[in-house]
Amino acid sequence: MKLQLAIDLVDTQGAINLVKELEEYIDVVEIGTPVVINEGLRAVKAMKEAFPNLTVLADLKIMDAAGYEVSQAVASGADIVTILGAAEDASILGAVEEAKKHGKQILVDMIAVKDIATRAKELDELGVDYICVHTGYDLQAVGQNSLEDLATIKSVVKNAKTAVAGGIKLETLPEVIKAQPDLVIVGGGITGQEDIKAVAAQMQKMIKQG
Ligand SMILES: O=C([C@H](O)CO)[C@H](O)[C@H](O)COP(=O)(O)O
């Protein structure tokens, strides 16, 4: 099980400053969708240049023109690129093919997918690397989480790794760990805390203990 730090609400320099403090506790750093919208793929490039040994995920949430968009993210230094599970199969295949060409990976974000079990099975067969259940900010605000969906994808997926994101905090991490995803994605549960180092260190410890 690995820990991914999602960085959403700062600029490129703010993101780099966060990783300077937290690098030793995380396995993957995510340049979040709001950062990409504000700063473009330059944020991904700057992160990879600052931390060449860290796995960098570009949270583009691609919906179309997938091969091209993945190619641009990879050229900017992304190791993993996200696409939406609701995208057409042709887009998913385009993303997978482009990523594989460069030895990179695709994470599918299942946000807003209604039939999680059926779509996860299809995506697994399309050869994606990760399938991620995700409660976005807008549904976190009404108290939802993704634990049930995580159990669902774990029961149908044969090859892809599983991931979970959305509102995970230190207090809810034990429940998430119990469900055994391959990747735990945490944003505000670290970046929004007073002592970000202590929280990240504690999360890393708990995740390593599995
Ligand atoms: O993907 C995300 C969201 O849609 C905003 O882009 C977040 O990175 C993801 O939800 C993790 O962040 P937290 O919910 O703050 O843990």
The CATH number given to whatever domain includes residue 122 is 3.20.20.70
pTM > 0.95: yes or no: yes
- pLDDT digits over 9-52, tens only? 999 999 999 999 999 999 999 999 999 999 999 999 999 999 99
Residue nearest to atom 12 of ligand 1 (CA): 187
Instruction: Quote the pLDDT of residue 186.
Output: 98
The pLDDT tens digits for 71-90 are 999 999 999 999 999 999 99
For a ligand 1 pocket test, name from 5, 113, 132, 185 the mutation site with the most ligand atoms within 8 angstroms of its C-beta: 185
Instruction: Return d(Cα 112, Cα 66) in angstroms, integer.
Output: 19
Tokens of 76: 């900017």
- Using DSSP's 3-state secondary structure scheme, residue 159 falls into coil
C-beta neighbour count of 157 within 10 angstroms: 19
Per-residue burial over 13-31, b if 16 or more Cβ lie within 10 Å, else e, is eebbebbeebeebbebbbb
| Per-residue pLDDT band at 210 (split at 50, 70, 90) | confident
Cα 110 to averaged position of ligand 1 atoms, centre (Å): 13
pLDDT in tens, 49-58: 999 999 999 9
Tell me which residue range forms the domain holding 26: 2-209
- pLDDT at residue 153, as a whole number: 97
Q: Is the pLDDT of residue 145 over 90?
A: no
Domain count for the chain, please give it. Answer: 1
- The predicted pLDDT at position 10 comes to 97
Q: Could you give the 3-state DSSP secondary structure of residue 139?
A: helix
pLDDT for position 155 = 96
